[in-house]
């Protein structure tokens, strides 16, 4: 059964359970459905979490949902159905169902360490999601969204592979990072030893420690040195930048905040940043930028920050 179908069934069950006429037989049938497949219980739990975290839904679907779900003269069941239906549109329609049902995922501003059964370790960056697929022949981590740090336990019989829609990054050593960038590319950065990076159906490249390679349109570009940057500083809760464009720093900070950080990259294009910032306190980071650069940081609400030149 597809993920989308399971989510639709979960929405139907929650709609029925919120109806004033729900019966004991309905509740018993719901419990039976939950026990029939582990994915059913996961879908229900995450849909209930979504109900309590409505700010995670993109702005336009959220507005439509509120208008439809709480329109006058609608029954409680119709309200629930309207809200869940629009949520499904916003998530499944934007191909977010696999992320929503991922084996491991993080929310905005959250980082998580994961110990795998083979002794390998993962760390997920903010708003990231992975599926873990181990068998007797290989160990595959499907990066569905965001960024992943991995330290690989040796197993000569089973290659360790991180896969995205752009290609694969196969460990030839221990530590590396894989990121699905906003522009659709996949960025592989090697911290220790080396990694074989290969696009779908294209020739691969070997990326050594201190290098990164980009997978774009299913092809691996030549590795480039990362210089004196600290690409895995985020695993320690830090953002370390050295002469980086301000717009890039703001984009990174925005990925750790709920809501929006608005700015005009063209208006800020001549401003560059060096420094060390705590990712768990983005407000302090924005204040430090305003203290040291000719910019203003204006808070319209906790969910909307505007940065502009002074």
Domain ranges across the chain: 3-100, 104-225, 237-309
pLDDT bracket for residue 215 (50, 70, 90): very high
Q: Across-strand partners of 263? A: 307
pLDDT of residue 63: 41
Q: Give the least confident one: 81-90, 107-116, 228-237.
A: 81-90
Coil vs helix vs strand at 50:
helix
pLDDT of residue 260: 87
- Phi/psi at 273 (nearest 5 deg)? -130, 140
pLDDT of residue 196: 96
Please give the average per-residue pLDDT across 117-124, as a whole number. Answer: 96
Instruction: Output the pTM of the full model.
Output: 0.71
Coil vs helix vs strand at 49:
helix
CA-CA distances (angstroms) from residue 80 to 77, 99, 221?
Answer: 5, 23, 48
Is pLDDT larger for residue 219 or for residue 9? 219
Is pLDDT larger for residue 63 or for residue 32? 32
Span 164-201, pLDDT tens digits = 999 999 999 889 999 999 899 999 999 999 999 999 87
| Contact (Cβ atoms closer than 8 angstroms) between residue 287 and residue 305 | no
Rg (alpha carbons) of the chain, rounded to whole number? 22
pLDDT bracket for residue 304 (50, 70, 90): confident
Coil vs helix vs strand at 69:
helix
In angstroms, the CA 45 to CA 35 distance is: 13
pLDDT bracket for residue 134 (50, 70, 90): very high
Q: Regarding the domain delimited by 104-225, which CATH topology (the fold level of the hierarchy) does it fall under?
A: Jelly Rolls (2.60.120)
Torsional sign, CA 241, 247, 248, 249: positive
pLDDT of residue 38: 75
Torsional sign, CA 225, 230, 234, 240: negative
**First vs last C-alpha separation in the chain:** 55
- Phi/psi at 285 (nearest 5 deg)? -65, -45
Q: Would you say residue 17 has pLDDT above 50?
A: yes
Q: What is the mean pLDDT of the chain?
A: 84
CA angle 65, 70, 72 (to 5 degrees): 140
Please give the average per-residue pLDDT across 251-273, as a whole number. Answer: 93
With b meaning 16 or more CB within 10 Å and e meaning fewer, what string describes 36-67? eeeebebbbebbeebeeeeebbeeebbebbee
pLDDT of residue 92: 45
Residue 112 tokens, joined: 């998580």
| Contact (Cβ atoms closer than 8 angstroms) between residue 280 and residue 306 | no
**H-assigned helices in the chain:** 3-17, 24-36, 38-52, 59-69, 76-92, 97-100, 246-254, 282-292
Is pLDDT larger for residue 99 or for residue 25? 25
In angstroms, the CA 278 to CA 234 distance is: 9
Coil vs helix vs strand at 175:
strand
104-225 with 237-309: one CATH topology? no
Instruction: Indicate the DSSP class of residue 77.
Output: H
In angstroms, the CA 120 to CA 151 distance is: 6
Say if domain 237-309 classifies as CATH 3.40.50.1000: no
The total of other beta-carbon atoms located within 10 Å of residue 274's CB is 11
The total of other beta-carbon atoms located within 10 Å of residue 233's CB is 15
């Amino acid at each position: 059964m597809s993920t989308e179908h399971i989510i639709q069934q979960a929405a139907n069950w929650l709609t029925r359970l919120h109806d004033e006429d729900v019966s004991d037989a309905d509740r018993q049938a719901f419990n039976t459905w939950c026990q029939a497949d582990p994915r059913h219980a996961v879908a229900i739990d995450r849909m209930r979490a979504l109900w309590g975290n409505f700010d995670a839904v993109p702005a336009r679907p959220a507005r439509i949902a509120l208008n439809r779900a709480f329109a006058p003269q609608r029954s409680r069941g119709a309200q629930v159905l309207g809200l869940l239906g629009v949520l499904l549109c916003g998530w499944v329609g934007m191909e977010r169902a696999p992320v929503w049902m991922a084996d491991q995922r993080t929310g905005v501003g959250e980082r998580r360490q994961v110990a795998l059964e083979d002794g390998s370790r993962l760390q997920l960056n903010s708003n990231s999601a992975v599926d873990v697929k181990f068998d007797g022949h290989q160990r595959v981590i499907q990066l569905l969204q965001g960024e992943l740090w991995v330290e690989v336990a040796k197993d000569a019989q089973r290659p360790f592979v991180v896969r995205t829609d752009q290609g694969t990054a196969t460990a030839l050593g221990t530590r590396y990072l894989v990121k699905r960038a906003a522009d659709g590319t996949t960025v592989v950065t090697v911290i220790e030893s080396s990694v074989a990076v290969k696009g779908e159906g294209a020739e691969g490249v070997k990326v050594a420690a201190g290098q990164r390679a980009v997978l774009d349109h299913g092809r691996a570009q030549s590795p480039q040195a990362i210089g004196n940057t600290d690409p895995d500083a985020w695993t320690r809760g830090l953002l370390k930048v050295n002469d980086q464009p301000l717009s890039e720093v703001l984009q990174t900070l925005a990925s750790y905040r709920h809501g929006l950080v608005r700015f005009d990259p063209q208006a800020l294009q001549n401003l560059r940043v060096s420094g060390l910032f705590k990712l768990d306190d983005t407000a302090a980071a924005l204040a430090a930028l305003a203290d040291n650069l000719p910019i203003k940081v204006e808070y319209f609400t906790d969910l909307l920050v505007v940065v502009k030149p002074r």
